[in-house]
Amino acid sequence: MESTQREFLDALLETASPSGFESAAQRVWIDYVEEYADDVRTDEYGNAVAVLEGGDQSVALTGHGDEIGFMVRDITDSGYVQLTPIGGSDKTVTRGQHVRIHTADGPVPGVIGQTAIHLRDRDSEETADISEQHVDIGAADAEEAEELVERGDPITFEQRVSELANGRIAGRGLDNRVGIWAAAEGFRRAAESDPEATVYAVSTVQEELGLRGAQMVGFDLDPDAVVATDVTHATDEPGAPGKESSGVELGGGPSVARGSANHPNVVEAVREVAAEADIEIQLEATGTRTGTDADAFYTARGGTPSLNVGIPNRYMHTPTEMLELADLDATAELLGQFAARAEAYRFSVDF
């Protein structure tokens, strides 16, 4: 990965983007893609679309720009901040973590309290729901806390990206800022190939709340095919239960999903592109749903041929999500190669 592309990735990972509060990260994304686009536009909720004008055939490379997090639900008389989750936040990994409350006046640091092990009754320990946990910002009482934060302010874990062995990184919110990195970088690589098809790059909002942004964009954009890029579970770590094993592992390249939302013609086209471009991929079974924006795109406007491409990711929805940079770069290359060759494919099914 070249320095410019790594700087773009780092900028995305350093920018908080909890669902409903994605504007800052969307701005980072737009600043990158607009150099290669004929046009960039946003809608009322912040979905961002870059366009490279070409022929009548059109394909969209997409990812969602939001991440899970929390919000300030209430403030106690003693000045503690009570929480409500944004998206699928995991109550088992929250306590004892450093957080940032993102206010209109800037971030306010805090910690999610965890009673010391010496003081807890360990014979009856249960993991408290997020609504029963609290953030300590050091305030003496409610009045002091309310001078610093407001109800409805979003909260994220304090950002830290660790560089690990074998070109791997770990941090919070790789889901799915790495997906919008891949969509933007695939778009850039497609632009350098002067594709015949019209190519869109899309960064959606509020995927973690139920694919909301994709529902908006899918109706408005109406492309001939969509590739929705998101993280997918790498089940090559010791804690993954055998019944959930997918065969997807770090270092094996992006996954190409089959079944449910994944249109067989788009699947075949992407597999052909990967083989011709010598890009290693992994196949993934999605018998009922993908759990990604592909599930919204494929039902838009009576049906849009769609595909979910996955970036292998360990420890999803924790502060220590992990991926291999080679997988991420290969995902961008696959998207770019597909967009560059899309004019050669027809995605509708003939009977």
Burial of 150 (0-12, 13-18, 19+ CB in 10 A): middle
Q: Which residues are annotated as a binding site for Zn(2+)?
A: 64, 175, 208, 230, 317
Neighbours of 241 (CB within 10 A): 7
User: In what helix (H) or strand (E) does residue 191 lie, and over which residues does it extend?
Assistant: helix 174-192
Give catalytic status of residue 207 as yes or no. Answer: yes
The three-class DSSP label of residue 244 is: helix
Neighbours of 264 (CB within 10 A): 13
Q: Which of 207, 321, 324, 333 is catalytic?
A: 207
CA torsion through residues 136, 319, 6, 291, sign: negative
Q: Which residues are annotated as a binding site?
A: 64, 175, 208, 230, 317
CA 310 – CA 291 distance, rounded (Å): 11
CA 266 – CA 345 distance, rounded (Å): 9
Long-range (24+ apart) CB contacts under 8 A made by 159-166 are 159/13, 159/14, 159/16, 159/100, 160/319, 161/10, 161/13, 161/14, 162/320, 164/322, 166/251, 166/324
Active site residues: 207
